[in-house]
Amino acid sequence: MPSRILANFLNENLEALKKQGLYNVIDPLEGANGPVIQIAGKPFINLSSNNYLGLATDKRLIEASIEATKKYGVGAGAVRTINGTQTAHVELEEKLAEFKHTEAAIAFQSGFNCNMGAISAVMDQHDAILSDELNHASIIDGCRLSRAKVIRYNHSDMADLRHKAQEAKASGLYQKIMVITDGVFSMDGDIAKLPEIVKIAEAFDLITYVDDAHGSGVLGEGAGTVKHFGLSDRIDFQIGTLSKAIGVVGGYVAGKRDLVDWLKVRSRPFLFSTSLTPGSAAACVKAIEILLESNELQKRLWENGDYLKNGLKQLGFNIGQSETPITPCIIGEEVLTQNFSKQLYADGVYAKAIVFPTVPKGTGRIRNMPTAAHTREMLDEALSVYEKVGKALKII
């Protein structure tokens, strides 16, 4: 007999979310996640993917994936430490270390997995973690899993970080202290103040951990935020995802050889969850090779980002303080934000509303993610729809 308590719990909570405009409907794409997508037979200009460089549909990656799939099969067949390590995984890890300018790297099945596995492999209940208040959900969950004391500091507030680092150190309560930050903050597009974070870390002997999911392939000639600031040899953990600029799926930690060796024996998703598919690993290798060869895609991404930002700003929208191609358009109230997104959708622009709990209450936004694959015509079309909807909803 199914549980009535569960049925009531689900029904009440789902209804409440729907009333508050906080229930996200999932629309399946009838094809690839490119600059134009198709949903229910209708095309949309896509401003919601993380496929920054357009590599998710790149023929060279598709070929690499097919070739590897033919050679290795569709699945790795086991966890990495039993016999799920194929040479495709080793090649990927070598390529990642080259890409990130580190001694070694370890690949995971996703960026989320990576944060869950990497933090808890090193930190425990005798430790403390200083975490930016706007860090990604996977960092928050990874920190919780570690059982370390989590001390949140105000977003990118270096005085607050310094003060809290000093206090934690002086307390004598903790064996290890880590500072952890996104490299680029995904909801606002601002860049972490890594040079100052490194100075504070060096002053108080902190372990440094940067999740560069949104900076890799975008900043630092593709190598990411750490390289952008010239700090490759001063950050302990460089975390990333292979699902955004790289266009595939997976996550990784790049760092010193000993760190990688330790994660290989202690990180639970690596030990207990089946490896990344070999086709994905090979496609990622190809993507990194493309990034190492040329900055062309990155250049196009930034040009498109600037174009969309200037267009929205000129129309009178609040685009926040983004320093990267991520272009938020801040609407505010949740129901209004959802309405805005629905109107964009009705006019052929797919740009999802991001609302609480992903961002704080009252700061609902449409997060636009222009990519290297968008044409000027697509961006112009999106801007004209923005103008129409903005005026209709009296936002501009």
Q: Specify whether 244 is catalytic.
A: yes
Q: Tokens 């290795």, residue?
A: 72
Catalytic residue among 244, 286, 309, 352: 244
Q: Specify whether 89 is catalytic.
A: no
* Choice between 305 and 390, CB closer to ligand PMP: 305
When asked if residue 142 is in the footprint of ligand PMP (CB under 6 A), the reply is: no
Mention every residue, 6+ apart, whose C-beta is less than 8 A from residue 317.
329, 330, 386, 390, 395, 396
Q: How far is CA 68 from CA 54, 55, 170, in A?
A: 21, 17, 53
Total residue count of the chain as it appears in this document: 396
Q: How far is the CB of 2 from ligand PMP (least distance, A)?
A: 32
Task: Identify the residue among 217, 251, 311, 328 touching ligand PMP (CB under 6 A).
Answer: 251
Task: Identify the residue among 35, 54, 84, 111 touching ligand PMP (CB under 6 A).
Answer: 111
Contact characters 190-229, ligand PMP, x per CB under 6 A: ---------------------x-xx---------------
Q: Tokens 């600029």, residue?
A: 245
Q: How far is the CB of 203 from ligand PMP (least distance, A)?
A: 26
Q: How far is the CB of 276 from ligand PMP (least distance, A)?
A: 11
Whole-number Å distance between alpha carbons of 309 and 330: 12
Task: Identify the residue among 146, 156, 243, 338 touching ligand PMP (CB under 6 A).
Answer: 243
Q: How far is the CB of 220 from ligand PMP (least distance, A)?
A: 16
Q: In the chain, helix, strand, coil percent, each to 5? A: 45, 15, 40
Q: How far is CA 40 from CA 28, 31, 53, 108, 351, in A?
A: 8, 11, 26, 33, 16
Q: How far is the CB of 345 from ligand PMP (least distance, A)?
A: 21
Task: Identify the residue among 48, 65, 131, 138 touching ligand PMP (CB under 6 A).
Answer: 138
> What's the angle, vertex CA 337, arms to CA 42 and CA 315, rounded to 5?
85
* Choice between 112 and 229, CB closer to ligand PMP: 112
Whole-number Å distance between alpha carbons of 149 and 280: 36
* Choice between 212 and 386, CB closer to ligand PMP: 212
Stretch that binds ligand PMP, among 110-118, 198-206, 314-322, 337-345 (CB under 6 A): 110-118
Buried b (16+ CB within 10 A) or exposed e, 187-215: bbbbbbbbeebbebbeebebbbbbbbbbb
Q: Specify whether 384 is catalytic.
A: no
Site for ligand PMP in 292-311 (CB under 6 A): none
Using CB under 6 A, count the residues that bind ligand PMP.
Answer: 14
Catalytic residue among 89, 100, 149, 214: 214
The sign of the torsion formed by the CA atoms of 54, 60, 66, 71 equals: negative
* Choice between 96 and 395, CB closer to ligand PMP: 96
Task: Identify the residue among 86, 120, 156, 186 touching ligand PMP (CB under 6 A).
Answer: 186
Q: Tokens 């896509």, residue?
A: 46
Whole-number Å distance between alpha carbons of 388 and 394: 10
Stretch that binds ligand PMP, among 40-48, 109-117, 349-357, 359-367 (CB under 6 A): 109-117
- Cα 378 from chain centre: 24
Task: Identify the residue among 58, 127, 182, 188 touching ligand PMP (CB under 6 A).
Answer: 182
Task: Identify the residue among 136, 164, 227, 286 touching ligand PMP (CB under 6 A).
Answer: 136
SS3 85: coil
Sheet holding 177-182, edge to edge: 104-108, 251-255, 237-241, 207-211, 177-182, 128-132, 149-153
Q: How far is the CB of 393 from ligand PMP (least distance, A)?
A: 28
Q: How far is the CB of 97 from ligand PMP (least distance, A)?
A: 19
Mention every residue, 6+ apart, whose C-beta is less than 8 A from residue 85.
76, 275
Task: Identify the residue among 110, 120, 275, 277 touching ligand PMP (CB under 6 A).
Answer: 110
Residues of this chain that interact with ligand PMP (CB under 6 A) are 110-112, 115, 136, 138, 182, 186, 211, 213-214, 241, 243, 251
Q: Which sequence positions are flagged as catalytic?
A: 186, 214, 244
